[in-house]
Homo-oligomer: A and B are copies of this chain.
C-alpha cells in the first residue's frame, strides 16, 4: 500500500530534489508540491496526503502555522518538519503545532525515509540533534512554567506580523492575503496592543525572537 506524500518548501529546487529522490521508492508517491503554507493547506484538503514534508521557515504563512491549520482541517495527515534550523523555538513550535517528526536538512535522505516510515506507522520520528533539543527544553522547563509568548496572538495576527516583519507594506499584505487594507490595519493594531509594542522596528525584533522571520536577507 503506497504512501501519499505532499512536499512543502519555498525553494523549488529543494522540492524537485526531494521529489526525485522519492520517486524511485517503491511504495511512495509524491502527490503534490506547495511553495508556501497556504498552498499546502489547500492542497492537503484536496489531495488528502498521508504525509506532508513541511519546511519550517517560509515567507507568508510559515510551517508552524500551516501545520496547525492543516491538522485542524484534516487530522489523518502526518506532518514531518524538514528544517535548516535546530533552534528550540522552531522545534518546540513545530511539535506544539502537531508535527510527528522533525528532521534537519543536513540529514541523509535515508533518514527521511526512516522518518516517513515511522510516521506513517503512527510513530514519532526524531533525529538525534532534535531529541537533544527537546530533552534540554523539557529539563529546563520542569521548574518554571515557561510562558508561551506568541500564543496570545491569533493565527491571522501572527501571519500579519510575519508579513510585516518581512518588510511588506500594509497594502501588499492586503493583496497577498486577499483582504482589505483596513483589515490588515486592524490586525496590526490588535497585535501591537496585545504585545504592548507600538513601533515597527520593535515588532520586527519580536518577530525575529519568535522565529517568525529571520535576519538574513
The residues of A with any CB-CB pair to B shorter than 8 Å are 10-14, 16-18, 20-21, 35, 57, 82, 84-87, 90, 104-109, 112, 164-169, 198-205, 208-209, 213, 215-217
Q: Could you say which residues of chain B place their CB within 8 Å of the CB of A107?
A: 12-13
Determine which of B16, B109, B167 lies in contact with A21 in the assembled complex, contact meaning CB atoms within 8 Å.
B16
- What 5 A-B pairs are tightest by C-beta distance, nearest first? A17-B17, A87-B217, A167-B199, A11-B105, A201-B204
Q: From residue A173, how far is it (CB to closest CB) to chain B in Å? A: 12
Q: Could you say which residues of chain B place their CB within 8 Å of the CB of A105?
A: 11-14
Given contacts A165-B201, A199-B167, A208-B208, contact A86 B13 (CB under 8 A): no
Task: Specify which of A112, A166, A200, A217 lies most central, judged by the most chain B CB atoms within 10 Å of its CB.
Answer: A217
Determine which of B16, B20, B90 lies in contact with A108 in the assembled complex, contact meaning CB atoms within 8 Å.
B16
Determine which of B17, B165, B166, B205 lies in contact with A16 in the assembled complex, contact meaning CB atoms within 8 Å.
B17
Identify 12 residue pairs between A and B in the complex whose beta-carbon atoms are under 8 Å apart, listed by A's number.
A13-B108, A14-B14, A14-B17, A14-B106, A57-B216, A85-B217, A86-B217, A167-B201, A201-B201, A201-B203, A201-B213, A208-B215
Given contacts A16-B17, A84-B11, contact A169 B215 (CB under 8 A): no
Q: Could you say which residues of chain B place their CB within 8 Å of the CB of A216?
A: 57, 84-85, 87
A200 to B109, CA, bound (A): 38
Q: Could you say which residues of chain B place their CB within 8 Å of the CB of A167?
A: 198-202
Q: Could you say which residues of chain B place their CB within 8 Å of the CB of A203?
A: 201
Determine which of B13, B84, B109, B204 lies in contact with A204 in the assembled complex, contact meaning CB atoms within 8 Å.
B204
Q: From residue A211, how far is it (CB to closest CB) to chain B in Å? A: 12
Q: Could you say which residues of chain B place their CB within 8 Å of the CB of A13?
A: 17-18, 21, 82, 105-109, 112
A208 to B104, CA, bound (A): 23
Q: Could you say which residues of chain B place their CB within 8 Å of the CB of A18?
A: 13, 17
Q: A11-B105, A17-B109 are in contact. List 16 more A-B contacts (CB 8 A).
A: A10-B106, A11-B84, A12-B108, A13-B112, A16-B17, A16-B21, A20-B20, A57-B216, A87-B216, A165-B201, A167-B199, A169-B199, A201-B201, A204-B204, A204-B205, A205-B217
